[in-house]
Amino acid sequence: MKNPSMKKWLRKDGSAAMMFLAPSGIGFALFYLIPFVMGVFYSFMDSTIEGHFVGFDNYRELLESESFRKAASNTFYFSAISVPLMLVLSLGLAMLLNKNTYLRNWLRTGYVLPLVVPVASIILIWQMLFDWNGSLNAWLNNFGIHRVDWMKTNAARNVIIVVYLWKNIGYNVILFLAGLQQIPKDYYETAQIEGAGRLRQFRSITLVYLTSSMFFVVIMSIINSFKVFRETYLIAGDYPHDSIYMMQHYMNNMFMSLDIQKLTAAATLMFGCILLIVLGLFAFERRHRQFME
């Protein structure tokens, strides 16, 4: 049983912690929580001013909208392609940088640079690279390959995937590097003595001890894939090719037309999808941890 002085100290320490956390909590409530709850409420109304409750009518109209279905399918297709690719590339680069390779420190710095450089400041370079008369088409032409209209054909999706990988891969490499450095070297030495090959070591040691890091990387990659609108907007403008018309484009168009009901309904559905994916990953990670124990 704790003595009175200990209880008094814990109560005092808890009060001080609450005082420090209060400004952040108030800011989160004012700028995130309350607007989100209001958005969910408006998604069930027919107007934001003296509106009436219409149930799921806004969601029904949303699902019947061809533009919404196109935006949703493009967004999920983009995530399904880019997230696994991001996972494989970032893990491979992290394993490479974890070894004593040539110029390792410079390479680490190079992969981190996209995190600190504003995208808007270098987006002009990407536009010059993928323009019809840009650098990439000039190189292709030198090798006898026909020019590609990157931003006005289905190839625009590949451009956005490349930009997404360039922007986010450094952060994932850092996370994987931190996880790799926590794995004792003795495990690999013992596995080599037992005759385990590189593939067996990777499957039985590296992947097992990187489960927590990989779980977090997958979640962050999925969330970032749903936030690719900024790069797409800066490169392709207001009216991109149909293959890169994302959910954020649809919501931005609804905002410009002041269709708040469809905007909030689309945002709520998007939040629900991300929440279901994250909860599914949490359940998978929990089962995997129990299996390993």
What are the sequence ranges of the domains in the chain?
Answer: 62-292
| CA dist., res. 16 & res. 21, Å (int) | 9
Tokens standing for 293?
Answer: 């124990």
CA 90 to chain centre: 13
Instruction: Specify burial of residue 150 (Cβ count, 10 A radius: 0-12, 13-18, 19+).
Output: buried
Give tens-digit pLDDT for 198-231: 888 888 888 888 888 888 899 889 888 888 887 7
Tokens standing for 192?
Answer: 């080599």
Give tens-digit pLDDT for 44-96: 888 777 778 888 888 998 888 898 999 999 999 999 999 999 999 999 888 88
Tokens standing for 78?
Answer: 């983009």
Mean pLDDT of the chain: 83
> What would the mean pLDDT of 177-188 be, rounded to a whole number?
85
Give tens-digit pLDDT for 254-267: 888 888 888 888 88
| CA dist., res. 69 & res. 63, Å (int) | 7
Strand, helix or coil for residue 53? strand
CA 187 to chain centre: 32
> What would the mean pLDDT of 132-154 be, rounded to a whole number?
83
Cβ atoms of 90 and 217 within 8 Å: the answer is yes
Cβ atoms of 156 and 243 within 8 Å: the answer is yes
Q: What is the DSSP letter of 145?
A: P
| CA dist., res. 205 & res. 184, Å (int) | 10
| Domain 62-292 is found in CATH 1.10.3720.10 | yes
Sign of CA dihedral 175, 180, 181, 182: positive
| CA dist., res. 33 & res. 35, Å (int) | 6
When mean pLDDT is compared across 101-110, 121-130, 284-293, the lowest value belongs to: 101-110
pLDDT exceeds 80 at position 11: no
Grade residue 289 by pLDDT with cuts at 50, 70 and 90: confident
For 134, list phi and psi in degrees, rounded to 5.
-80, -175
Give me the pLDDT at residue 3, please.
59
